[in-house]
Amino acid sequence: MSSDSSVVSVDDVSVHFTNNGGLLDLFSENETVRAVDGISLDIGENDVVALIGESGCGKSTLGKAIIGAERPTSGTVTFRGQDIWEARDERDPEIPFSEIRRSLQIIHQDPGSALNPNQRLLTSLMLPMKKWYPDLSRERRKEPILALLEKVGLSPAEDFVNRFPHQLSGGEQQRVVLVRSLLSNPDLILADEAISALDVSLRVEMMDLMLELQELFGTSYLFISHDLSNARYLAEKAGGRIAVMYLGRIVEVGPIEQVIENPQHPYTKALKWATPNLYGDEGEEELPVREIDIPDPVDRPSGCHFHPRCPKAREICRTRDPDLITTDDGHGARCYRADESHEYWDSQSIVDDEGELR
Ligand code: SF4
């Protein structure tokens, strides 16, 4: 997908955090966490991208950078071709920053913290309506709120709008948060572990609802999850893509069926192995990863950052960092094994018969 047709496009974006200046840091070395490290990704109209990876891999930081809530250390994030941070800093941008904020919404993991416990739902839901549609009358602002609450099954809506958040279940609260994010008619919603706190039985219901509303609103989703089966469900139903993150980088990306059925990166294989019944019971019996522990993000391994955990690592992986190799069908992997003619295949394995690094 070219960035011309993209809603949001991130180009070589990095977000680094450095400990410097705090009292506790006075006697220690500055440490830099490369939460996001040189990522490029386009999200188009009506697109669904599921971003998965272990906790701490940088998914949420990337998500925030994509919706303009986290300023990149380097690289650019554009909304319909407009640099988001230039729009914020400039006096007369082509697309005003307020328009970008309206178009890029977020749903967090904990709906309870997203709703003011002291406000009835109507008050909470009226706030974005007042902000984005200041010229409408109160009654006209209330109409889409009631219609959307009915649409997500919170019926009768007239009754629900008078409730406080604690009078709703977790699933009902998350529906309200989804409604609130849609009231601005956004182009992209970042759903950051938005269904993780729900009971398993409610997760599919919520994802189906998100997809139904996507059709109605033409919204794109960036769906962040640590759970491959949820990511697979949403992206597959939407005909979307999956992006796998590891230590601040996308290590595999592509159409869902290709990434799941034909994973190229050993880390994706490990995630798939750890998600039983993803596609039947077939698969490897042995855990396809050497080490369970994630390396320290401050002191990342040399070469391919996955090499200390990789059962397929060879000498070259210890010293050289692979690029993302992408095929014509948009399936990319950051692993030498994705290139059949790479010199990796002539390099010595660094994993012995016991699975230990030599
Ligand atoms: S480049 Fe080497 S270490 Fe990295 S994932 Fe591929 S085989 Fe494993």
Does 231 lie in the same domain as 358? no
Where is the domain boundary, 229, 245, 262? Answer: 262
The atom number, within ligand 1, closest to the CA of 251 reads 5
* CA of residue 319 to ligand 1 center, whole Å: 11
Where is the domain boundary, 238, 262, 286? Answer: 262
C-alpha 113/C-alpha 117 separation (Å) is 8
Does 210 lie in the same domain as 276? no
Q: Which residues lie closer than 8 Å to 184 by C-beta, 6 or more apart?
A: 102, 103, 105, 128, 132
Does 199 lie in the same domain as 269? no
Does 334 lie in the same domain as 232? no
The atom number, within ligand 1, closest to the CA of 317 reads 2
Query: What is the arithmetic mean of pLDDT over 315-332?
Result: 94
Where is the domain boundary, 211, 239, 262? Answer: 262
C-alpha 48/C-alpha 51 separation (Å) is 10
DSSP annotation string for 156-170: SHHHHTTS-GGGS-H
Mutate to test the pocket of ligand 1, among 314, 318, 342 (most ligand atoms within 8 A of CB): 314
The helix or strand, by DSSP H or E, that contains position 103, with its residue range, turns out to be: helix 97-103
Check whether 321 has a pLDDT greater than 80. yes
Identify the domain containing residue 11 by its residue range: 3-262
* Residue carrying the six token digits 């998100």: 210
Does 303 lie in the same domain as 272? yes
Q: Which two tokens stand for residue 262?
A: 């034909």
Q: Are 230 and 200 in contact (CB under 8 A)?
A: no
Mutate to test the pocket of ligand 1, among 250, 269, 337 (most ligand atoms within 8 A of CB): 337
Per residue in 135-158, pLDDT (tens digit) is 999 999 999 999 999 999 999 999
Does 256 lie in the same domain as 128? yes
- Which of 122, 77, 143 lies closest to 104, judged by CA? 77
Does 209 lie in the same domain as 341? no
Does 224 lie in the same domain as 284? no
* CA of residue 73 to ligand 1 center, whole Å: 27
- We report the CATH number of the domain holding residue 190 as 3.40.50.300
The atom number, within ligand 1, closest to the CA of 305 reads 4
Beta-strand relationship, 48-52 and 241-246: parallel
Beta-strand relationship, 188-192 and 104-107: parallel
Q: Measured on CA atoms in the order 337, 339, 344, 346, is the torsion positive or negative?
A: positive
Provide the pLDDT confidence category of residue 64 given band limits of 50, 70 and 90. Answer: very high
Does 319 lie in the same domain as 218? no
Ligand 1 pocket residues where CB is under 6 Å: 265-266, 304, 306-307, 310, 312-313, 317, 322, 335-337
Does 37 lie in the same domain as 147? yes
Residue with the bigger pLDDT between 291 and 267: it is 267
* Domains in the chain, number: 2
Does 350 lie in the same domain as 245? no
Give this prediction's pTM.
Answer: 0.91
Check whether 26 has a pLDDT greater than 60. no
* CA of residue 286 to ligand 1 center, whole Å: 18
* CA of residue 316 to ligand 1 center, whole Å: 9
* CA of residue 196 to ligand 1 center, whole Å: 30
* CA of residue 37 to ligand 1 center, whole Å: 18
Does 98 lie in the same domain as 158? yes
C-alpha 159/C-alpha 37 separation (Å) is 48
Per residue in 86-132, pLDDT (tens digit) is 999 988 899 999 999 999 999 988 887 889 999 999 999 999 999 99
Q: Considering only 217-226, 233-242, 282-291, which range has the smallest mean pLDDT? A: 282-291
* CA of residue 192 to ligand 1 center, whole Å: 28
* CA of residue 78 to ligand 1 center, whole Å: 31
Q: Supply the mean pLDDT for the chain.
A: 90
Q: Are 50 and 241 in contact (CB under 8 A)?
A: yes
- Ligand 1, atom 5: nearest CA belongs to which residue? 335
Q: What are the Cα distances from residue 297, in Å, to 52, 76, 195, 249, 340?
A: 17, 23, 27, 11, 30
